[in-house]
A and B are shown apart, each in its own frame.
Chain A
Amino acid sequence: MERNSNFKTDFLKSAYTIGELCVHPEHAYKKSNSEYIFAGILFPCLTYFLFALNLGLERQSFLSSATGFKTLLLVFFGIIVGFVTSIALTGVAYLAGRAVDTEINGFRFLGSIEYSFGFSLAIELIGLIIRIITSANTTSSFGILGIFIALVFIFRCILDLSEEKKYICVLFSILGGILTLLGLNILFFASF
Chain B
Amino acid sequence: MKIDRNLIIGTVGLILTGICGIFSLGGNIGLTLLSALFYIIAAAAILLIYSYLIPRFVGINADWLYYIPFAVMLIVSRIILGWDIFMPFYAAGIIAVTLDIYTRYKSKTLQGTLAIAGAGTASIILFAIISLCGGVVL
Contact = CB atoms under 8 A, between A and B. Distances in A.
Nearest to B71: A174
B66 A159 contact: yes
B69 A170 contact: yes
A188 B66 CA distance: 27
Q: Is the interface of A mostly helix, strand, loop or mixed?
A: helix
A144 B85 contact: yes
Contact of A148 (B68, B70, B100, B138): B70
A78 interface: no
Interface in B49-65: 65
Contacts of A188: 83
B113 interface: no
Given A177-B73, A185-B81, A170 B89 contact: no
B68 A170 contact: yes
A140 B85 CA distance: 7
B79 to A, nearest CB: 12
A149 B72 contact: no
A84 to B, nearest CB: 18
Nearest to A145: B88
A151 interface: yes
Contacts of A166: 65
Contacts of B89: 148
Interface in A125-181: 140-141, 144-145, 148-149, 151-152, 155-156, 159, 166-167, 170, 173-174, 176-178, 181
B43 to A, nearest CB: 20
Given A140-B138, A141-B87, A177-B73, A149 B65 contact: no
Interface in B74-88: 76-77, 81, 83, 85, 87-88
Interface residues of B, number: 24
A155 B77 contact: no
Contacts of A177: 69-70, 72-73, 76
B133 interface: no
A151 B88 contact: no
A164 to B, nearest CB: 13
Nearest to B85: A140
Interface in B9-51: none
Interface of B: 65-66, 68-70, 72-73, 76-77, 81, 83, 85, 87-89, 91-92, 95-96, 99-100, 103, 137-138
Interface of A: 140-141, 144-145, 148-149, 151-152, 155-156, 159, 166-167, 170, 173-174, 176-178, 181-182, 185, 188
